[in-house]
Structure 1
Amino acid sequence: MAAENRRGAMFRVVVPHQHSRVTYVELFFDLLFVFAVTQISHTLLHHFTPIGAVQVTLLFLSVWWVWVFTAWVTNWLNPELTPVRILLFLMMLGGLVLSTTIPTAFEGRGLWFAIAYVVMQVGRTAFWFVSTPHHWTAVRHNAIRILAWLSTSAVFWILGGLAEGESRLWLWIIAVVIEYVSPAARFWIPGLGPSSLEAWAVEGGHMAERCALFIIIALGEAVVVNGATFAELSWTTEIVLAFVSSLVASIAMWWIYFHKGAEAGSELISTSAESGKLARLAYTYLHMPIVAGIILTAVSDELVLKHPSGHSDLKTILSTIGGPLLFLVGTILFKLSIRGFLQLSHIVGILALLAVGWFGSELSPLWLSLLTTAIMIVVAVWESVSLRSASESHSEATSA
């Protein structure tokens, strides 16, 4: 009985409509992913080819998945307790190995990458299962379901780490597909069947804050890397303008995501009767293109800073247009899931970016950067003004 009570004490006490703050140990764990994000953007920068893009996308999906699964588990477990803290510290060790091997994951350190990933995913879920009291049948069944899916994908991760070349890529693609399909399939396994949506209820405000902090990490990584690159260059007018453009673009991205969207998402999921369903769609899946857009923009910033003049090559066009484009696609879908309508400002921004991309080869990298930054500023200002007007109209109608 005492052991059962200790296990139950490891879970958060969720109070309806109250927001559990993100703990310091969770912040400490999240900061490790600054390194992972940096590794991903640098790997893409040095392997900007079709096959390189596929490989880096796969690595990004794996990094995001191990982080977001951990965010789900620590939404239920209490990180203030020593066993859970030790789990996160061990996860940090695994994450450090994972991040270190990213640049050579498809070369000499593929097996190390696979082992680190599998140990983190399976080990964390096994800890969750062991920590769950026996009478919490639904929770234990969910842990068993997830363990079954992750153990299946683990076979392909390890086989891929042992293989080489194209075989490794295909085996790892199979592993990623298995893991990304599993939540949509509600982790169905023979005997237990699928989990119920009610079983995935989360403390919404906590989940929203964790994902928002990951956005901050990605944006902060871009600013830090740009600053380091800028410090090493000669400060010509073009380079200074390129640096200012990159900084303003990061601020615009912050404004587009945080000014209203992040708060609205947190309020909705905190009061939703289907918090698990919303967390799966809005925060597990739809945040991926947002983060990917920030990472791709960081690649563009470095390219433009180092070569601001001349005609833009395909690499510069794809990264400079593709980064903000992915970001806006992600944010418009995220806001659609929480507001129920598409933001006109985001639609216009997406169309404007595509139009600039069409003429991108005729522009210098600096001008391409300046135009995309201007578009992001317009989107941010437009949304802020339109939402303020809508709020004022609603207040007037209510008072009348």
Structure 2
Amino acid sequence: MGGYRRRGRLGPAVAVAPGTRVDRFEIFFDLVFVFSFFIITRATAAEITGASLLHAMLVLAVLWWTWVVHSVVATRIRLGQGFVPVLMVVGMAALFCFALALPQAFSDPRAGSGGPVVVAVSYVVIRAVHLLLFLHAVRDRPAERRQLLRFAPELILSTLLLLAAALLPTTIDDPGRATLARDWLWVAVVLLQYTTGLLGAWNGWQVESAEHWTERYDLILIIALGESVISVGIGGDILGQPPTWPLLTGAVFGIFFTAALWWAHYDIVGPAARIALHVATGRPRARLARDAYAYLYLPMVAGIILFALGAEEIVHDIADPDTPVGEPGPGLSVPLLYGGVICYLGGNMLFQARALRTLSWTRVAAVVLLAAGIPVAARLPGLAALGLLTAICVGLVMVEVVVWTQARRSLHEEVIRERTSHEISEAAWRGRWREEEPDEQPREPEPDEQPPTQS
């Protein structure tokens, strides 16, 4: 009974209504995801190898699935109102511990299982918070509770697999076999999660607010793009030495091509997909939300992390005064930089194809140019390789601005009309809060006051 009294003091949970927007607490929660992306990039940048890149993508896939479940919960219940923020803070703490332990998730099995166990336990806590909130949201809907139980095997099995990945390698004497067993267990977790998402019954799931769903994913993608900017700054090590012209030029290139990639999604494709999700209803809306956003945002985020790693390596080399100006980009920096942008644009094209049923020849041409540019850029100085990538990305934006002028104008005008109509409606609603000014009444004359005479 004490739990019910405390819940009553904090306030009830509030259901998500059509037209709901993202609230401030959800953005506050995203700060931990910012840190998680940062940790993945930093842990991989310490030693860039094929194995470390594989581990980074496995960790990102599991982390992204947590985000997907989190966003599904947010379609049913407001995370920043009532007693819900209390549980969400517990989930934030667990996610923060999850991120802190990520660098040890794939450490040498002979070093112990402390880090991997923290990852597994933190994951259990995060998923438990989401499960409790979703059960509360559908407590009066037996059909949806039964549907939720269909996803219970995924939660149980993925938890057991992560625990096995933490504990089993320590019992294997051969380090190579122990590492292989751990990696395959992580692969099994990823396959289990995303296969369950594709094959699970979605009949009862509804996206009440298309606006909330699209805004949620658009914000997390912007956060990921911010990671590339941070990586360029870290690679430049601007606090450790005075800025030079090559370093400043590389930093400007980093900003320009990141802004071009932002434009590639948010100028036409993102707004048009938001309208498409608004138009869809019922089961088609749920499937579109799952396929286009929950699944196809993942390769875009993965591409951002990859090209952030490549940009950081190149800018770090440019900033090093001991490195000759004409030195090619170090190691895997050029393939990571160009391959990451290809991955981002490829994911964006798949997103466009699923949401809008279209494919832009400009994006295909840009991907072909980037792929052809990898062997060329590998022989160029690092700054020139970064400049070539920037030229291709900015060129893509410039061509699309010219070629799709009418389509862009029509789309933007429609978005402006929609926002104007929404703001007028909001202003009319909020006008009800204002107290009406009392009508000015004629003043009554005093008893000994003579009435005014007419002239």
Same fold (TM over 0.5): yes
CA shift for structure 1 position 11 = 5.2
- Amino acid in structure 2 at the alignment position of 1:294: I
Q: 1:13 to 1:393 in 2, by over 3 A?
A: closer
TM-score (norm 2): 0.78
CA distance in 2, matches of 1:222, 1:301: 8
Contact preservation (8 Å) 2:76, 2:137: no
Q: 1:197 to 1:386 in 2, by over 3 A?
A: farther
Contact preservation (8 Å) 1:296, 1:322: yes
Please tell me whether residue 171 in structure 1 is matched to residue 218 in structure 2.
no
Q: 1:335 aligns with which of 344, 348, 352?
A: 352
- Amino acid in structure 1 at the alignment position of 2:134: W
Flag the structure with larger Rg.
Answer: 2
Q: 1:382 aligns with which of 399, 403, 427?
A: 399
Contact preservation (8 Å) 2:202, 2:286: no
- Amino acid in structure 2 at the alignment position of 1:160: A
Aligned residue in 2 for 1:61: 61
CA distance in 1, matches of 2:208, 2:63: 22
Aligned residue in 1 for 2:307: 297
Please tell me whether residue 26 in structure 1 is matched to residue 26 in structure 2.
yes
- Amino acid in structure 1 at the alignment position of 2:265: Y
Contact preservation (8 Å) 2:366, 2:393: yes
Of 268-277 and 382-391, deviating more is 382-391
Q: 2:249 aligns with which of 229, 241, 258?
A: 241
Q: 1:313 to 1:221 in 2, by over 3 A?
A: closer
CA distance in 2, matches of 1:237, 1:103: 34
| SS in structure 2 of the partner of residue 82 of structure 1 | coil
Aligned residue in 2 for 1:10: 13
CA shift for structure 1 position 370 = 0.9
Aligned residue in 1 for 2:195: 181
| SS in structure 2 of the partner of residue 14 of structure 1 | coil
- Amino acid in structure 1 at the alignment position of 2:249: L
Aligned residue in 2 for 1:103: 103
Contact preservation (8 Å) 1:12, 1:77: yes
CA distance in 2, matches of 1:360, 1:288: 27
Aligned residue in 1 for 2:46: 46
Aligned residue in 1 for 2:220: 214
- Amino acid in structure 1 at the alignment position of 2:160: V
Q: 1:320 to 1:80 in 2, by over 3 A?
A: closer
Deviations 1:276-324 (A, max 9, x none): 1001110011001111111112111211111134123441122111111
Aligned residue in 2 for 1:189: none
Q: 1:211 to 1:47 in 2, by over 3 A?
A: same
Unaligned runs of at least 5 residues, structure 2: 170-178, 319-324, 413-455
Q: 1:166 to 1:202 in 2, by over 3 A?
A: farther
Contact preservation (8 Å) 2:251, 2:315: yes
Q: 1:196 to 1:216 in 2, by over 3 A?
A: closer
Of 243-252 and 354-363, deviating more is 354-363
Contact preservation (8 Å) 1:44, 1:53: yes
Q: 1:157 aligns with which of 156, 159, 162?
A: 162
CA shift for structure 1 position 45 = 1.4
CA shift for structure 1 position 86 = 1.6
| SS in structure 2 of the partner of residue 290 of structure 1 | helix
CA shift for structure 1 position 352 = 0.5
CA distance in 2, matches of 1:54, 1:394: 39
Aligned residue in 2 for 1:358: 375
- Amino acid in structure 1 at the alignment position of 2:15: R
- Amino acid in structure 1 at the alignment position of 2:264: I
CA shift for structure 1 position 131 = 4.1
Contact preservation (8 Å) 1:202, 1:276: no
- Amino acid in structure 1 at the alignment position of 2:385: L
CA distance in 1, matches of 2:382, 2:132: 49
| SS in structure 1 of the partner of residue 93 of structure 2 | helix
Question: Where in structure 2 are the equivalents of 1:250-329 lying within 5 Å?
Answer: 250-273=258-281, 274-308=284-318, 309=325, 310-329=327-346
Contact preservation (8 Å) 2:228, 2:305: yes
| SS in structure 2 of the partner of residue 78 of structure 1 | coil
| SS in structure 2 of the partner of residue 76 of structure 1 | coil
Q: 1:275 to 1:374 in 2, by over 3 A?
A: same
CA distance in 2, matches of 1:48, 1:80: 39
| SS in structure 2 of the partner of residue 138 of structure 1 | helix
Unaligned runs of at least 5 residues, structure 1: 187-194, 396-400
CA distance in 1, matches of 2:151, 2:411: 44
CA distance in 2, matches of 1:387, 1:88: 43
Contact preservation (8 Å) 2:37, 2:227: yes
- Write 1 or 2 for the structure with the bigger share of helix: 1
TM-score (norm 1): 0.89
- Amino acid in structure 2 at the alignment position of 1:184: L
CA shift for structure 1 position 234 = 3.6
Of 366-375 and 136-145, deviating more is 136-145
CA distance in 1, matches of 2:354, 2:312: 33
